Structure 1
Amino acid sequence: MSDHDADALAERVRDGDLRLYELEEHADAETAAAARRRLLERETGAALDVTGDYAFDPEAAADSAIENLVGGTQIPFGVAGPVAVDGDAASEAYYLPMATTEGALLASVNRGCSAITAAGGANARVTKRGMTRAPVFRVADVTEGAEVARWVDEHFADLKAAAESTTDHGTLQEVTHYVVGDNVYLRFSYDTADAMGMNMATIATGEACDVVEANTPAELVALSGNLCADKKPAAINAVEGRGRTVTADVHIPRDVVEERFKTTPEAIAEVNTRKNLVGSAKAGSLGFNAHAANVVAAVFLATGQDAAQVVEGSNCITTVEARDDELYASVNLASLEVGTVGGGTKLPTQAEALDVLGVRGGGDPAGSNADELAEVIAAGALAGELSLLAALASRHLSSAHEDLGR
C-alpha cells in the first residue's frame, strides 16, 4: 500500500467518482481501508492513526466480517478465574476471557470464580439446543391457515429434507406453527453443531419455505417474522429457548461464603429474592438476575460471538437458597447463542481467546466445543451473580468501585 494510492482513492470518493463500498474494486482491502481513514480524517478532523493499527487480515475481515472497513477498535481484554466447571462438555478449571470497558467487573467475577472453585466447582449442563428462524406467510383466512398448519405437521420429513439439503452440519429438529388471522408463522428449530448457526438456519429455512409455497396456499411474506426471535427481548426465547439453554449451579459451604464474601448465605438469599425475583417481576423483566449480561457480553466480545445476541443471553434466572451448612445458587440461561466456528471466531485475537478455553474450531463429537463454551459462560455468569449479590448483601458495592477508582 502507498499513501499516494490511498490519498487518490479518498479524493475520488470526495469528488463523487467512487462510493465508499466500491473501493475494494480498485485496490486491496488494506489500501481501501486506509483511503476511508484519509477521507474521514479530512471530513471530520479526527485522527485515526490508532484505528489504523490492527492485527487482523483486512482481506479476510472485509470478505466475511464487515463492509466499508476503516480499521480496528481495541477493547481491553482480561481474564477471571480459574473457575472449576464439571459439565457434560466442560471438565476442568478455566480462565474466563473477558473484553470490557467496565472497571471492577473482572475483579468481581474473579471473586465469584474463586469462591466457586474453593467449593469444588460448578456443575453445568446444556439442556437444549435449537437455533431458530420463523418466516411469516400470508393466507386468505384462518381456514387456509389451519390447512397450512396441518400440512406442515404431516410433511415434516419433506421440510427436513429440503432444509438439510443446504448444509452439511445443520439438523432440522422441529417446526412449530402459529396461525394469527391471515398470518401463518413457522418456527424452524435447528441443531447447528459448533456454529452459532443463524446464517445456516436462514438459508435452510429459505429452501423449506419454497416447499411450503409449492404445496400449500401460503405465500411467503418475510423469511423472518420475528417469532424467531433474534436480537430482541422475547418471552418465547425465555420459555422455549434459542441457541443453547444452559444451567449451572454450585453448593458453597457456609465457611467459604463467610470467608470469601464477608456475608452469610441468608443475606445473599434475601437479596436475590427481593432484588432478582420480586424486583424483576415488579419491573416486568424477562431476566430475573443481577447482571448476567455483563459476563455474557464480555465473553462474547473476547471470543468473537455476535454481540447483539447479548439481548437473548441476558435471559437468565438466578436462584439462591440458604441451607443449614451451605449456600446453593444457580443460573439458567435460556437462550445463549454461541459458536466456536464461523463469523467473528475466525478473527485472530478472538481465536486466541477461544484457545485460552481450548474450544476453538469444531468439536468431536460435533457440537461439543460450543456446548463447552456455553457451560463455561454459565459458570462465569454464576460467579458474577454471586459476587454482586454478596457485595450488595455486605453493602460493599460502592466501596469496591471506590477502591478500584472506577
Structure 2
Amino acid sequence: MSDVSDLADRVQSGELRLYELEDHADEATAAAARRELLRRETESDPDAVGGFSFDAGDVHGSNIENLVGGVQVPLGVAGPVAVNGEAADGEYYLPLATTEGALVASVNRGCSAIRAGGGATARVLKNGMTRAPVFRVADVAEAKTVAEWVRENEDALAEAAESTTSHGELQSVTPYVVGDSVFLRFSYDTKDAMGMNMATIATGEAADVVEAETPAELVALSGNLCSDKKPAAINAVEGRGRTVSADVRIPREVVKERFNTTPEAIEEANTRKNLVGSAKAGALGFNAHAANVVAAMFLATGQDAAQVVEGSNTITTVEAREDELYASVNLASLEVGTVGGGTKLPTQAEGLDVLGVRGGGDPAGSNADALAELIATGVLAGELSLVSALASRNLSSAHEELGR
C-alpha cells in the first residue's frame, strides 16, 4: 500500500503524470495508485472496479491506457437456437451482456420460436473492411486524372497495401471526387480480424504510392467516407465489415402458441412501424431494436462497442403466408472479429467459446463469418419477439414484469 500511496502522492504533487505510473511500478500497482488518486480527488470509492479477472499487464497499452480497473456488465444467455449457416451450423446458446431488463427474455422467446420453426438460415453475403483517405488536388481536372490512375493501377496499390499484413487482402479501391478533394475507399478482406487497424496501416502504405505517382497530396488517412462509427448511407448501401442476412419460416400454429398473435398482425406491425415509420423518420435502419442485440453480443464477445452504430443498419421484413410467417433481417454493415482487440480478454474469450468461434478459423475468416451469422440470428430472434409483442399489445406488461 505504501507504493500505491507514494505513487498517488507523486501524481498529486505534479511530479508524475497519470500515464507515467507504469514506468515506476507494475501495471496492477499503477492501476491501484490511480484508484487511490480518484478516491482522494473525487467523491468516489472505486473498490468494485478493482475486482477484475484480466491481467493488468496484458491490457496496458494494447486495450487501455491509464488503467483503473474493470467494469462488469450482467451476462445472460438465450437459446438454444438452431442455425443453418455456411459457417455456423447447429444449435447455439447466444451470450448477451446488457443492463436492460427484458432483453434476454425477449431474445430467448424469439430463439424458442425459431427453433420450433425448424431453425434460421443465415448467410454472409459480402465482406469488406474499408478505409477511405482524402487527398488534395488542384482542381477537378487533376482529380479526374488521379481517379483514372487509381482505377488503372489497383494491382500496384494492392501490392503496397498487402506488404504490411500477412492476412489482409485488398479487394477494391473506389474513387470519389468532390471538387478538389479525392476520396479513395479501400476495401479489404481481413479474415477473422475485425481489421480496422489492419486496413488503416495497409491504406497508409498504399497512400504513399498514390502521392508518389500522382499529383494528389494526402490530407487525412480517414476521410469519413469509410465510414467508421457514424451513421452513413454508404455503409447501409455498400456494406462494411460483414453484410449478413438471416431468415426463418414459422408455422402459423407456432406463431399463435409462442407469440399469442397471427402472422398477419405481425406483418402489419412490421410494415407500419419498421418500414413506414422508419422511412418517415429518415432512418438508415428499418428495424425494431437490432442495435440492442448487436450491442449485447458485441459486449459479450469483445467486439468494438462503438461499431454498434453500423450494426444498426438493419432491415427487417415480415410476410404472412398461407400456413406460415416468413421473417428476415439484413445487417448491411456488421463489423466483427474473433482475433485481436477485445476478443483476447478472458471473459470475452469465454463468450466466443460459448459460440465455438474463438480465434482464427479454418479456413481463415470462417470464425468471423460464423459470429456474424450468429449475431444476425440473435437479431432475428429479437425482432420477432418485439414486433410480435407490439402486435399482441404485450410490450408494456413485459417491461413491467421484467424490465423495471
Instruction: Report the TM range for the smaller structure's normalisation.
Output: over 0.9
2:241 maps to 243
Note if 1:262 corresponds to 2:233.
Answer: no
1:351 maps to 349
2:219 maps to 221
Which aligned pairs between 1:89-100 and structure 2 lie closer than 5 A? 89-100=87-98
Note if 1:75 corresponds to 2:73.
Answer: yes
Aligned length: 404
Matching residue within 174, 179, 182 for 1:181: 179
1:351 aligns to what SS in structure 2?
Answer: helix
The code of the aligned residue for 2:138 comes to A
> How far has the Cα of 1:71 moved from its partner?
0.2
Contact 2:158 2:170 in 1 (8 A): yes
Residues 122-163 of structure 1 show CA distances to partners (whole Å, capped at 9, x for unaligned) of 000000000000000000000100000010011100000000
In 2, Cα distance between equivalents of 1:349 and 1:60: 14
> How far has the Cα of 1:63 moved from its partner?
2.8
1:224 aligns to what SS in structure 2?
Answer: coil
1:55 maps to 53
Matching residue within 198, 201, 210 for 1:200: 198
In 1, Cα distance between equivalents of 2:193 and 2:176: 27
Contact 2:100 2:403 in 1 (8 A): no
Gaps of 5+ in 2: none
Contact 2:27 2:60 in 1 (8 A): yes
1:51 aligns to what SS in structure 2?
Answer: helix
2:47 aligns to what SS in structure 1?
Answer: coil
Matching residue within 92, 99, 102 for 1:101: 99
> How far has the Cα of 1:405 moved from its partner?
5.2
Gaps of 5+ in 1: none
In 2, Cα distance between equivalents of 1:153 and 1:393: 50
1:376 aligns to what SS in structure 2?
Answer: helix
In 2, Cα distance between equivalents of 1:104 and 1:379: 18
In 2, Cα distance between equivalents of 1:282 and 1:402: 29
2:78 aligns to what SS in structure 1?
Answer: strand
> How far has the Cα of 1:179 moved from its partner?
0.8
The code of the aligned residue for 2:76 comes to G
In 1, Cα distance between equivalents of 2:171 and 2:121: 27
TM-score computed with the length of structure 1 as normaliser: 0.99
Note if 1:272 corresponds to 2:270.
Answer: yes
Please list every run of at least 4 consecutive aligned residues from structure 1 whose deviation after the TM superposition is greater than 2 angstroms. none
1:8 maps to 6
In 2, Cα distance between equivalents of 1:184 and 1:62: 37
Note if 1:286 corresponds to 2:291.
Answer: no
RMSD after superposition: 0.5
In 1, Cα distance between equivalents of 2:145 and 2:231: 31
> How far has the Cα of 1:45 moved from its partner?
2.5
1:135 maps to 133
Identical counterparts, % of pairs: 78
Matching residue within 307, 316, 319 for 1:318: 316
1:64 aligns to what SS in structure 2?
Answer: coil
The code of the aligned residue for 1:329 comes to A
The code of the aligned residue for 1:23 comes to L
